[in-house]
Every structure is written in structure tokens, then in C-alpha cells.
């Protein structure tokens, strides 16, 4: 009988230390195949294989496109590439970013669920925002298991907390107990995969193909989901909303995908840049108006020059107003709003009678 021997792990901020401990705690003869996505900047040299390789005798390396899946092997997503799983082998691609990242956790989890169903164990570790939640939901939907690091001990608890809010998690575990849990779960025999509704199954397969570099538009992504008034922060394409249980996600017709909190962060980050663009444009018009005013003044057209100087001063005032708006702008995320809410509660409680 088959066992749960496909383990997919997602981590971001705080994940480096946790991954080192986990790999060091696993037995050297561990027969599962492990796949890891750790968020990193695209220009960072991938050092994770070398670091983890010092903690175990298992083979640890960046995955290679088309490489066979073997037991007792740790596959790591290379910088600026998604790591995907297909039956029997891995894919390493530069498909569209998801949740602002490439590599991203959701494509790995989604592809593993699609390829191996109940044989998959999904693990969400420390990290900011909500990458991994949608993929973990898909793993559960296909009969796999969902494991989450105890957010109370996570350096960045947002990723495990998001998973716990949106997914029926099977295990919330301390990092000290994670290796033992994975050893035990990997020895369990699995039953047949549950039947996934046809529309959900078709969309999962389509999203895997998009991450594998197929054209989202040509594959018919616009036939799924509901069009929204939002545009993609990455490419400005229209976003459609998709539902996984009580989880809402967004994807544009070029393929970029977002969970709700990641979309909010990207949108509010872009606002500052847009406001600076507005200030730049207005200030350039001030310079041009003054230049032309000087020209007409030198040409003894005083009345016309005065009009240019007046409009330059009005534009300068508008630039100052936009600058004040920009300075008051906030980057928003669930974590920040949660902090604001807790601060309001604390201040309000001070006024309550004791």
C-alpha cells in the first residue's frame, strides 16, 4: 500500500533556522521525498542546499527541471523559480509570481495535491502574509494532511495563522516535535483519494499549468472565477476572484495570483509610488510653466507671462497637497490592522471602570 511519502514545506521570514533544525532532526534513512519553498529575493544566491546539507546525509540540492522524484532526497526551489511536482518528476519554472513571490508556496502545494493526492503532507512554517494557505486547502481537498507550525513560537506567525483560519489543519506542532510527527505520518498507509468536484479539479489542473509556464489567457483562466473591479499590481490586468471553501483568491489573465492579504499589501505599496509619480509630474509642469513664463516676460508679453507664473504657483500648491497625502499613506496588511485594533482595545479598556 502507498504511504504519505510526499512532504511539501513552505516557509518565509524565520524559516531558515526552523528548516535547519527540522532537517537535522530527521533520521538519515528517512524514506520520504521532501520539497521546500523558502521565500527569497530573485537576486539572492541560493545557499539553503549547502546549509541543510551540513545537517543530514540525505541528498540536498536545488531541484533540476525534469529530475526524477526519489526517496531520501530534499528538493529545494532555486531562486526566482517555482518548484512544481508532476507524477514521477519535478518541474522548475518561471511561471507568473504568486503572492508576490517566485518561488511561491501555493504552486508547490497545489501541484503536489494534483499529482499525489492523499500521499501529500503539507507543512506551513514561519512567514509573513498568507502564501501557502490556498495550496494547503487544495492538499486537504485532495485527501492529504495539513501540518502547521505553532504560531506562538514562529518568528513571523502570519503564514501559520492564516492557514489555521482558512484550512481544517490536522496538526499544529512545535518545531521540536515536527520531525517526529513527519516520520510517523510518512509511515501511514493512505486510502483512495476523495472525489474532487469537476470544476474544482479542472481549475486546479489549469493553475498548475499556468505555474508551469502555460499561457493563463490561452488556457481559459477567464472562464473561471468572477471578474472584480481590481487590477493586478504586477501587470495591471483585470483580476478575477476564486473561491476555495471560505478562502477568496485573485488571479489576472496573465497569470499572477494573490491571496487577499498579499493583494492588499501590494496595492498599498504601489500607492506610494503612484503618488510620487503624481508629484513628479506636477513639479515638472511647474518648471515648464515657469520656463515659459520667463520666455514671455523676456518677450515683453507681461500679461501672458503672469498667467504662466500663476498656474505654476497653483500647480506647486497641488504638488504640496499630494505630498501631504503621500506622507500620511500607510502600507496595510492584516497584521498591521490587527495591531491597530489591539491598540484601540487597550486604549479603550483604560477608560473602563475597574
Asked if 89 is an active-site residue, the reply is no
Residue 188 DSSP label: S
Q: List Cα–Cα distances, 211 to 90, 110, 220, in angstroms.
A: 13, 10, 14
Look up residue 71 and give its DSSP letter. Answer: S
Q: Which of 33, 82, 106, 131 is catalytic?
A: 131
Which of 39, 82, 142, 256 is labelled catalytic?
A: 39
Q: What are phi and psi of 322, to 5 degrees?
A: -65, -40
Is 111 known to be catalytic? Answer: no
Active site residue 39: yes
Number of C-beta neighbours around residue 296 at 10 A: 17
Task: Please name which of 111, 126, 134, 24 lies closest in space to residue 74, comparing C-alpha atoms.
Answer: 24
C-alpha 185: how far from chain center: 27
> Per residue in 272-287, is it b (16+ CB within 10 Å) or e — as a string?
eeebeebbeebbebbe
Burial of 308 from C-beta contacts in 10 A (0-12 / 13-18 / 19+): buried
Beta 82-86 vs 89-93: how paired, if at all? antiparallel
Catalytic (active-site) positions:
12, 39, 131
Amino acid at each position: 500500500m502507498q504511504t504519505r511519502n510526499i512532504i511539501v514545506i513552505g516557509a518565509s521570514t524565520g524559516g531558515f533556522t526552523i528548516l535547519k533544525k527540522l532537517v537535522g532532526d530527521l533520521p538519515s534513512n528517512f524514506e520520504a521525498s521532501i520539497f521546500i519553498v523558502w521565500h527569497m529575493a530573485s537576486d539572492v544566491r541560493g545557499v539553503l542546499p549547502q546549509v541543510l546539507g551540513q545537517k543530514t546525509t540525505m541528498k540536498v540540492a536545488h531541484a533540476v527541471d525534469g529530475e526524477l522524484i526519489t526517496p531520501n532526497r530534499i528538493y529545494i526551489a532555486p531562486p526566482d523559480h517555482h518548484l512544481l511536482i508532476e507524477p514521477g518528476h519535478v518541474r522548475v519554472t518561471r511561471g507568473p509570481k504568486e503572492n508576490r513571490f517566485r518561488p511561491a508556496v501555493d504552486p508547490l502545494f497545489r501541484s503536489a495535491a494534483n499529482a499525489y493526492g492523499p500521499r501529500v503532507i503539507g507543512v506551513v512554517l514561519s512567514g509573513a502574509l498568507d502564501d501557502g494557505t490556498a495550496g494547503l486547502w487544495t492538499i486537504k481537498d485532495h485527501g492529504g494532511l495539513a501540518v502547521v507550525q505553532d504560531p506562538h513560537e514562529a518568528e513571523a506567525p502570519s503564514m501559520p495563522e492564516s492557514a489555521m483560519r482558512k484550512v481544517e489543519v490536522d496538526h499544529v506542532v512545535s518545531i521540536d516535535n515536527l520531525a517526529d510527527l513527519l516520520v510517523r505520518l510518512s509511515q501511514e498507509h493512505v486510502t483512495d483519494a476523495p472525489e474532487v468536484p469537476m470544476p474544482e479539479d479542472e481549475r486546479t489542473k489549469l493553475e498548475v499549468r499556468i505555474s508551469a509556464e502555460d499561457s493563463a489567457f490561452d488556457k481559459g483562466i477567464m472562464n473561471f472565477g468572477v471578474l472584480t473591479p481590481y487590477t493586478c499590481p504586477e501587470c495591471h490586468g483585470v483580476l478575477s476572484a476564486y473561491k476555495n471553501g471560505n478562502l477568496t483568491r485573485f488571479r489576472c489573465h496573465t497569470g499572477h495570483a494573490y491571496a487577499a492579504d498579499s493583494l492588499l499589501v501590494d496595492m498599498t505599496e504601489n500607492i506610494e509610488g503612484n503618488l510620487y509619480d503624481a508629484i513628479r509630474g506636477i513639479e515638472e509642469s511647474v518648471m515648464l510653466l515657469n520656463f515659459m513664463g520667463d520666455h514671455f516676460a523676456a518677450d515683453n508679453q507681461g500679461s501672458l507671462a503672469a498667467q504662466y507664473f500663476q498656474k505654476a504657483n497653483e500647480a506647486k500648491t497641488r504638488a504640496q497637497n499630494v505630498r501631504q497625502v503621500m506622507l500620511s499613506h500607510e502600507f496595510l496588511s492584516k497584521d498591521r490592522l490587527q495591531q491597530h485594533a489591539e491598540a484601540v482595545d487597550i486604549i479603550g479598556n483604560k477608560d473602563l471602570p475597574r
